[in-house]
Amino acid sequence: MSTEQHTLTMIREFDAPRERIFDAWMDPDQLTKWFGPVEVDAPRDKIIVEPRVGGIWQVVMAWTDDEGEQEAPIEAVITELDAPALLVARAKAAPDADHEYEEMHLEFEDLNGRTRMHLTQGPFASEEWVEMTRDGWGTSFDKLDALLD
pLDDT 10s per residue in the chain (149 long)? 444 679 999 999 999 999 999 999 999 999 999 999 999 999 999 999 999 999 999 999 999 999 999 999 999 999 999 999 999 999 987 666 666 789 999 999 999 999 999 999 999 888 998 999 999 999 999 999 999 98
Domain architecture of the chain: domains with CATH: 6-39+81-148 (3.30.530.20)
Strands ordered across the beta sheet of 68-82: 6-14, 114-124, 101-111, 86-92, 68-82, 56-65, 48-49
CA separation for the pair 11, 128 (Å, rounded): 19
Q: Between 127-148 and 18-26, two packed helices, what is the crossing angle to 10 degrees?
A: 120
